[in-house]
């Protein structure tokens, strides 16, 4: 009874991956698996960000020794301009010419003048060039370049490790799946052989010993295959989960 319960426990363990990771099936080739891993793996994404950060550091280091140009532009509009009314000084000055210029009589005695500009535009530019940094500028560029190279090498290392692990997991899954198929086919062949021997025994063309031997072979293979198939299916699902963990 204990052995039977233990067998059911093993079967339940073998079925757990199917229950936990049940989802829509999608077939991946090796190239697609690698491409998907490179696209989704967080470690690879982080390494890419470090490369981008290192490249930005190189540009920042160069900016410390290159000329810096600043520009400014300012436009203002006066909605209310100050005005003042003053006497028209031209009219008394031109009074002696009134007999010759009758239009002078039409000139106003007072005029209104505005102070200020309605629209004002200011613009300018400046150029700054560091003269001497004591070698700090060149050293900063060299350090930034070394940091970029280190980040790029780390990215390549992460990429190659990811490709290697994905390839191993991919072919490991294929091997585990094929082993399960081989074990299932061997069991089916042994059971078919027993059915054939039983038919021959019923018509008298096979002995009782042949029948018993076929039954023993099936029983032995059944118990052996139960363990192998449980371990094989568990390895198959574990392999798929390993591939899933590589991606994530």
Domain locations in the chain as residue ranges:
2-67+130-247, 69-128
Say if CB 144 and CB 60 are below 8 A apart.
yes
CATH superfamily of 2-67+130-247: Outer membrane efflux proteins (OEP) (1.20.1600.10)
175: confidence class by pLDDT, cuts 50, 70, 90: confident
What is the distance between the terminal CA atoms of the chain, rounded to a whole angstrom? 43
* pLDDT score of 10: 43
Taking the C-alpha atoms of residue 49 and residue 230, their distance in angstroms, rounded to an integer, is 43
- The fraction of the chain above a pLDDT of 70, given in percent, is 76
Taking the C-alpha atoms of residue 41 and residue 169, their distance in angstroms, rounded to an integer, is 15
Task: Give, in order, the Cα–Cα distances in Å from 155 to each of 26, 86, 148, 169, 196.
Answer: 29, 80, 10, 21, 61
* pLDDT score of 160: 93
232: confidence class by pLDDT, cuts 50, 70, 90: low
244: confidence class by pLDDT, cuts 50, 70, 90: low
149: confidence class by pLDDT, cuts 50, 70, 90: very high
21: confidence class by pLDDT, cuts 50, 70, 90: very low
* pLDDT score of 155: 94
Q: Is the pLDDT of residue 52 over 90?
A: yes
The C-alpha angle with vertex 65 and arms to 62 and 69, in degrees rounded to 5, equals: 95
226: confidence class by pLDDT, cuts 50, 70, 90: low
Say if CB 64 and CB 130 are below 8 A apart.
yes
Considering the chain, what is the average pLDDT of its residues? 75
- The fraction of the chain above a pLDDT of 90, given in percent, is 12
State pLDDT tens for residues 100-128.
Answer: 777 777 788 787 777 767 788 888 888 77
Task: Give, in order, the Cα–Cα distances in Å from 240 to each of 29, 33, 82, 231, 234.
Answer: 14, 12, 82, 14, 10
131: confidence class by pLDDT, cuts 50, 70, 90: confident
3: confidence class by pLDDT, cuts 50, 70, 90: very low
Tokens 């080739």, residue? Answer: 29
Taking the C-alpha atoms of residue 45 and residue 183, their distance in angstroms, rounded to an integer, is 41
């Amino acid at each position: 009874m204990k052995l039977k319960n233990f067998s059911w426990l093993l079967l339940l363990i073998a079925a757990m991956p199917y229950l936990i990771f049940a989802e829509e099936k999608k077939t991946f080739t090796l190239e697609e698996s690698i491409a998907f891993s490179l696209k989704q793996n967080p470690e690879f994404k982080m390494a890419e960000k470090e490369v981008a950060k290192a490249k930005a550091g190189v540009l920042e280091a160069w900016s410390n020794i290159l000329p810096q140009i600043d520009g400014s532009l300012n436009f203002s509009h006066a909605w209310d301009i100050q005005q003042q009314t003053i006497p028209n000084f031209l009219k008394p000055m031109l009074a002696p010419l009134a007999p010759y210029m009758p239009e002078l009589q039409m000139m106003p005695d007072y005029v209104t003048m505005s102070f200020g500009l309605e629209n004002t535009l200011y613009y300018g530019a400046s150029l700054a060039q560091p003269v001497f940094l004591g070698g700090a500028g060149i050293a900063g560029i060299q350090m930034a370049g070394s940091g970029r190279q280190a980040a790029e090498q780390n990215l390549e290392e992460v990429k190659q490790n990811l490709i290697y692990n994905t390839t191993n997991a991919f072919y490991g899954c294929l091997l585990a799946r094929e082993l399960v198929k081989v074990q299932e086919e061997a069991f089916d062949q042994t059971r078919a052989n027993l059915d054939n021997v039983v038919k021959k025994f019923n018509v008298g063309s096979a002995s009782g010993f042949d029948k018993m031997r076929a039954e023993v072979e099936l029983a032995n293979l059944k118990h052996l295959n139960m363990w192998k198939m449980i371990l094989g299916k568990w390895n198959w699902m574990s392999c798929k989960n390993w591939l899933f963990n590589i991606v994530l």
